[in-house]
Amino acid sequence: MDLGTATFTFRFGEALEDQQLGCLWQGNDILSINLNGDISYLTPDNERPTRVIMGHTKSIEAMVYNSKNDHFYTADREGRIIGWDRLTAQTVSFTGPAHKTKICGLAVSNNVLYSISLDDTLKVTPLESRVFAVGIQLPSQPVAVAANGNLVFVACRDVIVTVQGTQIIQKSPAAWGPACIAISPDGSQVAVGGNDKQLHVFSNANGTLSQSYTNAHDGVVSSVAFSPNGKLIAGGDTDRQIKLWDRNTKVSGSAWGMGARVDTLHFSPSGEFVLSAGLDSCFMVWSVSKNARVHEQRNAHMGGVKAAQFVDESTLLTTGQDLVTKSWGLNIR
């Protein structure tokens, strides 16, 4: 072999992010890192990577869990979405025209991923193919998304948009400024937190929204969730309070609250527990029957917890500004 002669060439993609920045030997493998921060495992007898480890290099802004394939999906402020096998942490990638900037919400229904971004688009992506489409242009900047069946509701700065399939079928004016959104499990109700410190609850008739009632909060309603049976609605606000509602009746105690803005809420599958998390870097678990906090995890994610969700009664996922997603086991009695 002549000095300076290449004996093998490894081939990557043609996109800008496929540019390789460095490599090293690790045992029998060569490890190479690209512009996205992905690490490829290479062997001298294969021109393609045998394994690719992906991750986020910018803060994670949204997460959603899909029980149909036991995967969860995370999205960051540069518009990148990554799928993860919950048990093995193996990653899957997406192809096609990605979002151009920060993703501010994810939802999943019928094995379809819905994503919204500050590029003012909603993307509808089948999880079997994981190929992004061009996207649906929204009338204003989106802030949150919820889905049930083939209906999708996008809360934008001044309007609530209803999408069926890939078509916008209704635009409901909301001058009060939506901040978060959730849909009941049976699809009959949609709850929208407002900048007017009100939790707006709508009835849904095949995508047509009609406001039923409002509940008052002490701050901007920054997070909302329905219980699995649709009877209760949890609302969290910028005044650090969590209020549990049975229609217009507040059923939670005064102690329900956090140390900073409440950014995410989620009920356990049984409806017994409510998971809350937010800007104070911790998450808490509340018992509905005991009307009390039953667990607190401080410093879960430095810089704030952006999303948290139950997988089952004793397992939950959290992610945040520290670029990390964590799985937690709970033993609550």
Helix (H) or strand (E) run with residue 27 in it: none
- pLDDT tens sequence across 63-96: 999 999 999 999 999 999 999 999 999 999 999 9
- Has residue 13 got a pLDDT over 90? no
In whole angstroms, how far apart are CA 281 and each of 306, 318, 332?
9, 11, 21
Nearest alpha carbon to residue 162 among 179, 177, 142: 142
**Greater model confidence, 36 or 287:** 287
- pLDDT tens sequence across 14-69: 888 889 999 999 888 899 999 888 999 999 888 888 888 899 989 999 999 999 99
- Has residue 190 got a pLDDT over 90? yes
**pLDDT at residue 281, rounded to an integer:** 94
Cα separation, 92 vs 200, whole angstroms: 37
**pLDDT at residue 16, rounded to an integer:** 84
**pLDDT at residue 333, rounded to an integer:** 67
**pLDDT at residue 65, rounded to an integer:** 98
- Has residue 307 got a pLDDT over 60? yes
- Structure-token pair, residue 238: 């910028």
**pLDDT at residue 28, rounded to an integer:** 87
CA dihedral 158, 159, 165, 166 (to 10 degrees): -50
Average pLDDT over residues 147-164: 97
Average pLDDT over residues 294-305: 94
Helix (H) or strand (E) run with residue 117 in it: strand 112-117
Query: Cα–chain-centroid distance for residue 303?
Result: 17
- Please report which confidence band the pLDDT of residue 2 belongs to, taking 50, 70 and 90 as the band edges: low
Tell me the average pLDDT of the chain. 94
* Model confidence, pTM: 0.92
Tell me which DSSP letter residue 95 carries: B
List, in order of start, the domains of the chain with CATH numbers: 16-53 (no CATH), 60-329 (2.130.10.10)
Average pLDDT over residues 147-175: 96
> For 36-40, 211-215, 242-246, which range has the lowest pLDDT when averaged over its residues?
36-40
**pLDDT at residue 33, rounded to an integer:** 93
**Residue % of the chain over a pLDDT of 90:** 84
Q: Which amino acid is at 48?
A: R
- pLDDT tens sequence across 262-276: 999 999 999 999 999
